[in-house]
Structures are given as C-alpha cells and as structure tokens.
Amino acid sequence: MEVDYLIPGCPPQSDQIAEVVGAVIDILSTGKPLPPQGTILGATEKTCCDECTRKREIKKITKFIRPFEIVTDPEVCLMEQGIVCCGPATRSGCSAKCVSAGVPCRGCYGRPVNVRDQGAKMVSAIASVIDSTNPEEIERIIATIPDPAGTFYRFSLADSMLRRAQV
C-alpha cells in the first residue's frame, strides 16, 4: 500500500508533527510544490548516532548487558558500555531523546536512507564491536544479546531481506 507521506517514530515526536504541519501550511500558503509521494517527513538522512552527544571511542565488547544491570555512564556511548543500542541502524530526527535519557535506541525511526535492511545493519554494527576472533568466544558474546531478531527487527521485519527470494 502506498502512502502519501510518512512521519517516523513510535509515536512521532510532537515537535516533528508541528514542524511538518508548519511546512504544509507554508507550502499551501506560498503555492510551493508538495514533496514527492512517499517522502519521509520530520527525519534526516543521518543516523541516531549522528545526533547522540555521548562520547564514542573504539571499544570492544566482551558481553552485552541489559540497561537495568548497570548504572550507565551518561557521557559514554551505550553500545560501548555493552548495551545493545540500535542507533547505528536508525534514521535520525528524534534528537536522540531516548539515548540522552539513558535508554537505548529501539529503532522506531526506521532505517537510514543508505541502509537496505535495518536488522542486517545492526548485525554489522554488533560484529564491529565484538572483541574476539575466536568463533566459540564470538558465539558466547552473541548469546548475551537477548532476542536478537526481535531487537534488531522490532520495527522493520516486514520490510527486511529475510526470506526474500533472491533475484
């Protein structure tokens, strides 16, 4: 089913809605052309990580934990603290509000423009921070991620490349 326009988020942020309504009013009052059908409004082409103010350094993970298992450092990237955060695979536009509050990104703004499959991008992001080359140890580290498919594809499974016929 085709849609005219999409405002991402679960739910869309009120400031995003106000910005989109303001843009529509501007378009209608000035006679500007409408954006193309299917345009995503209220988001950018970057990722949530690009909006996040937490410090990121090259750090390797030896296990993943849930947010309630530690007191997080408010200055350091949640992923680098061992918390699965979907920011690397999520479109920006939310001002990283959840992450700023210490809650990992869940991916509700959908995949960035240059990403075909949000879950696959998260698998890649996770692979880049695992601190091992030993297959058994890598399996042990991955096993500490609760419900990887549900976490990585929470909002995008229907649009994923999983189970699609290869053309």
Helix, coil or strand: residue 18? helix
Count of CA atoms in the C-beta half-sphere (13 A) of 138: 10
The model carries a pTM of 0.84
The answer to whether 78 and 99 have CB atoms below 8 angstroms apart is: yes
Of 1, 4, 90, 13, give the one whose Cα is nearest residue 39. Answer: 4
pLDDT exceeds cutoff 60 at 166: no
The answer to whether 6 and 41 have CB atoms below 8 angstroms apart is: yes
Euclidean distance between the first and the last CA atom of the chain, given in angstroms as a whole number: 22
Residue type, 139: E
Q: Residue 108 has what pLDDT?
A: 93
- Residue 38 pLDDT level (bands cut at 50, 70, 90): confident
Q: How far is CA 78 from CA 49, 50, 83, 89, in A?
A: 10, 14, 5, 14
Helix, coil or strand: residue 112? coil
In the chain, where the domains are located: 1-42, 44-159
pLDDT exceeds cutoff 90 at 118: yes
What are the pLDDT digits (tens) for 50-94?
Answer: 999 999 987 788 999 999 999 999 999 999 999 999 999 999 989
pLDDT exceeds cutoff 60 at 167: no
Of 111, 101, 104, give the one whose Cα is nearest residue 81. Answer: 104
CB burial of residue 157 (10 Å; 0-12, 13-18, 19+): middle
Report the alpha-carbon distance of residue 132 to residue 32 in Å, rounded: 54
What are the pLDDT digits (tens) for 43-61?
Answer: 888 999 999 999 998 778 8
pLDDT exceeds cutoff 60 at 150: yes
Report the alpha-carbon distance of residue 2 to residue 40 in Å, rounded: 12
